Chains A and B, each alone.
Chain A
Amino acid sequence: MKTHLNTLFVTTDGAYLCKDGQAVAVRIKKETRLRVPLHNLDGIVCFGRVGVSPQLMGECASQGVSISFLSSTGRFHAAVVGFSPGNVILRRQQYRLADDAVKSALAARCIILGKLANCRTLLLRAARETDEPVRADRLRKIADRLNANQIDVRTATTVERLRGLEGEAAASYFEAFNDLMIDVAGFTYTRRSRRPPLDPLNALLSFVYALLSHDARSACEGAGLDAAVGYLHEDRPGRPGMALDLMEEFRPCLADRLVFSLINRRQVHARDFEKVETGAVRMSDSTRKTVLVAYQERKQEVVTHPFLGEKMTFGQLLHIQARLMSRWIRGDLDAYPPYVWK
């Protein structure tokens, strides 16, 4: 397996990346500021105005290092990935199952169950950690409601019904967001806004989800899956359905948890977010850096996979889940086992 390596994030406007032997050279104003050996990387993520030489793209493609181009706010523009492993049999089976309503519903159900369980874990952890009984009570009540959703999901047999239940659960879950932030000025949850994010919390969430989806895409590619065809997410041109499917169970434990701890530990401040004329909110460069570092650190944390019983980092988990998905697709497993966070 591709062991969990590092992602190189390039956030400096005007930076140019090129191949220097078996390394990436980061040039700023024609001066080489950094060299990173390619074998230490599993991905390169470029924010904003960053250039990459074709030679480097070719080398990255052949070594399985993906390059993503994101806007300075983290919206996905394009990716350079090599010739995919070409597991044509896996892909055909992936499509066949996507056309099979019963099998799609089975996968979607497992994905949502994993996500709901992880949302509940996040809420219950926060309830245990707070010393305000009223707040803890509210969090537990919402976790309770998710529990009820979870029970409905277990018996739902169509993808449409599952999507509906997931929507209901998400609405309850978002309601808890204000109780997940403890006395932090300027961060409040009103509603989820993405295009563009209209408040600092939404800006943070969107940014971290963009990072997560980059990793989920790479994990799909690495496992030979077609990142575009999912089971829970309907096909839509340009949308990475399978990557989004894989992301679901990780949103609470990798992304949301990270965002709330950054806010609660006051590592990010609402004043570091700028409102532009349209009402859209952008984060400052230094905040972006803080988030990237925290995200990388989170990915290095070691957990035990409850299904495999093996220790691995959070970053590896995504790759393992993509593999478990492909093993289910190929018929080696009787269901897709999501990562359940305790």
Chain B
Amino acid sequence: MVYFEDDLLPISALQHLLFCERQCALIHLERLWADNLFTAQGNHLHQKAHSGNPDSRRGVRTTRGLDLHSLTLGLAGQADVIEWEPPAGSRKKGQTLAQAIKSAAPADRIHWRVTPVEYKRGQPKKNDCDRVQVCAQAICLEEMLGVTIPTAMLFYGQQRRRVDVPCDDALRERTRTAAQRLHEMIRSRKTPPAVYEKKCDSCSLKSLCLPTATSRTHSAMDYLQRMLQYSEGTLSE
């Protein structure tokens, strides 16, 4: 299936989806947002990663904040950093690395190393959500450039270190499934019900989601009943 440009969803929504489907719906369907310390730190880091000019060093060009999309995944977004490394000797005489990259035809790019690097504030997570996000960026680049990207990278702010993310079949499959699920949810216009878990306490949307109040065990009708019994009973004291 190929999506239309109008229907592209943010790449970053995949991460929200994998963290919590309800959070994803609140952000991307209901357009709710709230910041907390973590999201503010994350924004700051991304701003830093995005800003700054491209540069070339030892045959590797680094670009920042470029727009990406994939019509097969139905996603669009920005890559914090992309590194470009054409094999030595592929440059024409007198051509800068930047010019070579911009003017290359798809056939020229076959042996290039192109690597998206996604910046994250904390440390590597147990689940796949960061890997899926950067894998989606890799798929975008493959589609836009006709290259093959075997490995993407994640940079974690807390340990200030890069981690390789092999874009193997399993991760690609997981990324495609997540993108599909995301489109289904947005199309359904339904926000999944809340299920309170420990991770809710670190979620900046907690007070918009109200997970303890809206989980199915908590009935507003019962609450009202209790309150009225209390109120109506207060005379007889």
Binding site for B on A (CB under 8 A): 1-2, 85-90, 110, 113, 116-117, 120-121, 124, 140, 143-144, 147, 150-151, 154, 223-224, 306-309, 320, 323-324, 327-328, 330, 332-338, 340, 342
- Smallest CB-CB separation from B214: which chain A residue? A332
Most buried by A among B189, B220, B231: B231
Contact B228 A333 (CB under 8 A): no
Contact B30 A90 (CB under 8 A): yes
The stretch from B47-55, B69-77, B204-212 touching chain A is B204-212
CB < 8 Å neighbour of A335 from B189, B214, B224:
B224
Residues A340 and B213 in contact in the complex (CB < 8 Å), given A1-B208, A332-B193: no
Complex-state Cα separation, A336 to B219, whole angstroms = 10
B182-209 residues with Cβ-Cβ distance < 8 A to A are: 189, 191, 193-194, 206-208
Least distance between A160 CB and chain B CB atoms (Å): 21
Least distance between B183 CB and chain A CB atoms (Å): 16
The 9 A-B residue pairs whose C-beta atoms are closest, nearest first, are: A1-B207, A332-B214, A337-B220, A335-B220, A117-B231, A340-B227, A333-B220, A335-B221, A87-B30
5 contacts between A and B (CB under 8 A): A87-B30, A88-B31, A150-B228, A151-B232, A334-B219
Contact A1 B34 (CB under 8 A): yes
Is residue B32 within 8 Å, beta carbon to beta carbon, of the partner chain?
yes
Contact B191 A332 (CB under 8 A): yes
CB < 8 Å neighbour of A121 from B29, B194, B219, B231:
B231
Complex-state Cα separation, A117 to B213, whole angstroms = 21
Complex-state Cα separation, A61 to B32, whole angstroms = 16
- Smallest CB-CB separation from A85: which chain B residue? B31
Binding site for A on B (CB under 8 A): 29-34, 189, 191, 193-194, 206-208, 210, 212-214, 219-221, 223-224, 227-228, 230-232, 234-235
CB < 8 Å neighbour of B189 from A1, A89, A223:
A89
CB < 8 Å neighbour of A113 from B213, B228, B234:
B228
Least distance between A225 CB and chain B CB atoms (Å): 11
Contact A308 B220 (CB under 8 A): no
Complex-state Cα separation, A257 to B32, whole angstroms = 34
Complex-state Cα separation, A140 to B235, whole angstroms = 8
List A contacts of B230 (CB < 8 A).
Answer: 340, 342
CB < 8 Å neighbour of B235 from A85, A89, A116, A143:
A143
Given A2-B34, A117-B231, A330-B30, 11 other A-B contacts at CB below 8 A?
A: A85-B33, A89-B30, A113-B224, A144-B235, A224-B32, A308-B213, A324-B220, A330-B191, A334-B219, A335-B221, A335-B224
List B contacts of A309 (CB < 8 A).
Answer: 212
CB < 8 Å neighbour of A147 from B33, B210, B235:
B235
Residues A323 and B224 in contact in the complex (CB < 8 Å), given A2-B34, A85-B32, A87-B31: no
Contact A324 B208 (CB under 8 A): no
Residues A327 and B228 in contact in the complex (CB < 8 Å), given A87-B31, A334-B219: no
Least distance between B62 CB and chain A CB atoms (Å): 31
List B contacts of A340 (CB < 8 A).
Answer: 227, 230-231
Least distance between A171 CB and chain B CB atoms (Å): 19
Contact A338 B214 (CB under 8 A): no
Least distance between B201 CB and chain A CB atoms (Å): 12
Complex-state Cα separation, A338 to B228, whole angstroms = 11
- Smallest CB-CB separation from B213: which chain A residue? A308
Residues A323 and B234 in contact in the complex (CB < 8 Å), given A87-B30, A334-B220: no
- Smallest CB-CB separation from B34: which chain A residue? A1
List B contacts of A338 (CB < 8 A).
Answer: 224
Least distance between A256 CB and chain B CB atoms (Å): 17
List A contacts of B227 (CB < 8 A).
Answer: 117, 306, 340
List A contacts of B208 (CB < 8 A).
Answer: 1, 223, 323
Contact B31 A86 (CB under 8 A): yes
Contact B30 A224 (CB under 8 A): yes
Contact A306 B231 (CB under 8 A): no
List B contacts of A2 (CB < 8 A).
Answer: 34
List A contacts of B224 (CB < 8 A).
Answer: 110, 113, 335, 337-338
